[in-house]
């Protein structure tokens, strides 16, 4: 009987986390603006770039969001396009390891199908800092014009308001 109760409690907790992530993604989709980013300094100046057309943005990055004690960072992604996109997601935090060394960036590549959402939680350890620690998510793809992304601090009981994702160079 105890196993049934424990199993039901775990399913309920997991269901809550999925619903909370879906709400966060819905909020991200309505809040995000996309600003073209390019490494070409002549872009936007057709007279200097020989008349080449505008390129699609290739990078989205969130402004910093903050991890409180016992929270982990998460990155959420939404594909509004009609084709699958391969996206490299980088999660960066200013948290340090017990020896004082910085925690390396977590980098993963995912394929996100059309009209799908994906949340990636980076659980290499909960924040141990007594003060808020900044973190951010970066999304790279050949074209991010129809991608929306964000980052948020997560724990088992709450999810903070997601940080708005904007394109960055």
Segment 103-119, tens digit of pLDDT: 899 999 999 999 999 98
Of 103 and 23, the structure prediction assigns the larger pLDDT to 103
Encode 61-96: b = buried (16+ Cβ within 10 Å), e = exposed.
bbeebbbbeebbbbbbbbbebeeebebebbbbbbbe
Taking 60 as the threshold, does the pLDDT of residue 29 lie above it?
A: no
Q: In the chain, pLDDT over 70 holds for what percent of residues?
A: 57
Domain holding 74, by residue range, is: 2-167
Name the pLDDT band for 19 (thresholds 50, 70, 90): very low
Q: Average pLDDT for residues 61-81, to the nearest whole number?
A: 88
Counted residue by residue, the chain has a size of 169
* Residue 158: Cβ within 10 Å count: 10
Rounded to two decimals, what is the model's pTM?
Answer: 0.63
Pull the structure tokens for residue 166: 């904007």
Which of 9-13, 120-124, 158-162 has the largest mean confidence? 120-124
Of 15 and 124, the structure prediction assigns the larger pLDDT to 124
Taking 80 as the threshold, does the pLDDT of residue 135 lie above it?
A: yes
Cβ proximity of 106 and 91 under 8 Å: yes
How many domains does the chain divide into? 1
Nearest to 67 by CA among 149, 159, 139, 150: 159
pLDDT for position 53: 61
Question: How far apart are alpha carbons 52 and 44 in whole angstroms?
Answer: 9
Question: How far apart are alpha carbons 9 and 50 in whole angstroms?
Answer: 62
Q: Average pLDDT for residues 62-70, to the nearest whole number?
A: 86
SS3 8: helix
SS3 127: coil
């Amino acid at each position: 009987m105890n196993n049934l109760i424990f199993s039901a409690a775990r399913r309920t907790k997991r269901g809550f986390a999925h619903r909370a992530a879906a709400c966060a993604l819905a909020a991200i989709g309505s809040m995000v603006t996309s600003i073209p980013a390019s490494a070409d300094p002549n872009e936007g100046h057709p007279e200097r770039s020989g008349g080449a057309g505008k390129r699609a943005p290739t990078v989205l990055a969130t402004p910093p969001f903050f991890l409180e004690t016992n929270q982990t960072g998460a990155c959420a992604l939404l594909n509004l396009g009609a084709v699958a996109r391969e996206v490299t997601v980088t999660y960066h935090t200013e948290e340090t390891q017990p020896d004082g060394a910085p925690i390396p960036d977590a980098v993963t590549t995912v394929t996100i199908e059309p009209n799908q959402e994906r949340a990636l939680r980076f659980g290499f350890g909960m924040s141990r800092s007594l003060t808020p620690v900044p973190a951010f998510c970066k999304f790279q793809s050949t074209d991010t014009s129809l991608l929306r992304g964000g980052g948020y601090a997560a724990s088992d009981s709450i999810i903070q308001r997601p940080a708005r994702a904007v394109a960055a160079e």
